[in-house]
Amino acid sequence: MNKPTKRTVKMIFQNKIQHDDHTDSYEFTTRGELYHKGNQDYLRFEEALTETESVQTTMKWDGRELMLIRQGTVLMRQAFISGEESLGRYVTPDASWETKAVTDKVLVTWPTRKQRGKIHIKYRFLLQGQDAGQHEVRLTLEEDH
């Protein structure tokens, strides 16, 4: 059995949320691990929420579905498939909500030695049936040598 080869990547994570006439956006830079296991590719990184709270984020890609798994102060599991709706869950220490993503676009390109990779997800997000806006997530990935 082959052991998955892990590569360290530098990444820029950008999120833009359009809700009614209001736009929120945030960006952070971090390092992550990219590896292949079975028929899927995984990207794992840590997201700092505050100085004391963080979330371990894993993105699992099988060529069609991008599964977002966040574990830590916030627990979240949400699938994204271009042109489809998918159910998920968002859990905080105080509450648990059903989520739904109506995904317009999922684009995944892994980095190579010479080229940057990217993940681009565009979706309408619903939390417990309530519209939580149009989300656009962009990750720029670069091999860290």
Is the CB of residue 11 less than 8 Å from the CB of residue 27? no
Write out the residue range of the structural domain in which residue 93 sits: 6-143
Q: What is the residue-level pLDDT of the chain in tens, covering all 145 positions?
A: 455 689 999 999 999 999 989 999 999 999 999 999 989 999 999 988 788 888 999 999 999 999 999 999 889 999 999 999 999 999 998 999 999 999 999 999 999 888 899 999 999 999 999 999 999 999 999 988 6
CATH number at residue 11: 2.40.128.20
Q: How many domains does the chain have?
A: 1
Neighbours of 8 (CB within 10 A): 11
In a domain, 1, yes or no: no
| pTM, full prediction | 0.90
In a domain, 66, yes or no: yes
In a domain, 132, yes or no: yes
In a domain, 113, yes or no: yes
- The whole-number pLDDT of residue 3 equals 57
In a domain, 137, yes or no: yes
- The whole-number pLDDT of residue 2 equals 54
E strands of 20-129, at which residues? 22-37, 40-48, 54-61, 65-72, 75-81, 85-91, 96-109, 117-127
Is the CB of residue 87 less than 8 Å from the CB of residue 100? yes
* Beta bridge mates, 75: 91
In a domain, 40, yes or no: yes
